[in-house]
Each structure stands twice: as structure tokens, then as C-alpha cells.
Amino acid sequence: MEAERRHEAVRGLLDMTILATNEPLHINYSLSLTSREIVKVKSSRTIRWDREASKFFAVKLDRSCGYKNIIEYATYFSEAISEGLLWENIDYIGALSELIKLGFMVEFNEEAVEFLMKSRNLQIFMEDEDFLASSFPSEDHL
């Protein structure tokens, strides 16, 4: 992915509104078939990213419910982020999703994430470092 496209994706993450709730998100789908039959499906989710509206909806994570709940949440979170970022590059969604899921499980600890990236032969390019530094200025840069 080109640097400009990567930075645009990160800007999308930074500019989105995050809405948290204690209740599951209910979604209704309907599909009109050529036979004029309408199929309706109701679904419940814990995470949803509406790219067009730049809104990220999430049920608050209850860590007290055990590891199954945490890994399930991490899976849905990573899938939503990956699909939202790479909707034009579907071949890479699975790999990014797994990396984000592992990062989530280690609470995005910087050293752990660096190891995960190295283990997958990934690196952050200098132009990305500069972009991130300008997006997240620290006291060292002020």
C-alpha cells in the first residue's frame, strides 16, 4: 500500500467517532430476491464500523467474563478494523485482522507489537514514523 493511502487510512481512524454502549448492537438486513421474495435477517454484534458515517460502535468489553469473551471481542474488533481499512484490498484483511487481534490480546504493548511485526517481517517506514509523530506529538517534539 502506498504511503499516501496508508496515511489516509490512519487519518480515517483518528477522525472517526467512537460510540460505546452496554447493550448489543442490533442490525436488520433485508434482501429482495428475483422471485420477489424478501429475506429478512436480524443480527446482533458487539462491534460495527460505519465507514461512510465515520462512526465506530462498540459494546463495552467486560473483562471479568473470562478469556472466551476477550478473544471473541478481540476477533470482532480486529475484523471490523481490518475490513474498514482494507475494503479495497480484501486479500490482506485476514493477515491484518490476525495482527490486530494479537495486538489487542497483549493490550497493544509497544514491545510486544514490535515483536509481532518483526515475526511477520513487517516494519514501519520512515515516512510513517514522521506521519505518526506529527499526528501524535509528544513532549519530546514540542
Each residue's pLDDT tens digit in the chain (142 positions)?
888 988 998 898 999 999 999 988 888 889 899 898 999 988 888 999 998 899 999 999 988 989 999 999 999 999 999 999 998 889 999 999 999 999 999 999 999 999 999 999 998 899 999 998 998 877 554 4
Per the structure, the count of domains in the chain is 1
- The answer to whether position 85 is within a domain reads yes
**For the chain, give me the number of helices (H) and strands (E)?**
5, 5
CB 87 within 8 A of CB 12: no
Write down the pLDDT at residue 141: 44
- The answer to whether position 142 is within a domain reads no
User: 39 - beta bridge partners?
Assistant: 31
Question: What domain range includes position 125?
Answer: 3-135
- The answer to whether position 141 is within a domain reads no
- Give me the phi and psi of 52, to 5 degrees please: -60, -40
Give CA separation, 103 vs 5, 48, 115, 116, 122, in Å.
22, 19, 10, 8, 14
- The answer to whether position 27 is within a domain reads yes
Q: Phi-psi bin for 69: left (phi > 0), alpha (psi -120 to 50), beta? A: alpha
Q: Is-above-0.75 flag for pTM?
A: yes
- The answer to whether position 80 is within a domain reads yes
Write down the pLDDT at residue 76: 94
- The answer to whether position 140 is within a domain reads no
User: Of 98, 128, 127, whose CA–CA distance to 113 is shortest?
Assistant: 98
Reduced to 3 states (helix: H, G, I; strand: E, B; else coil), residue 1 is: coil
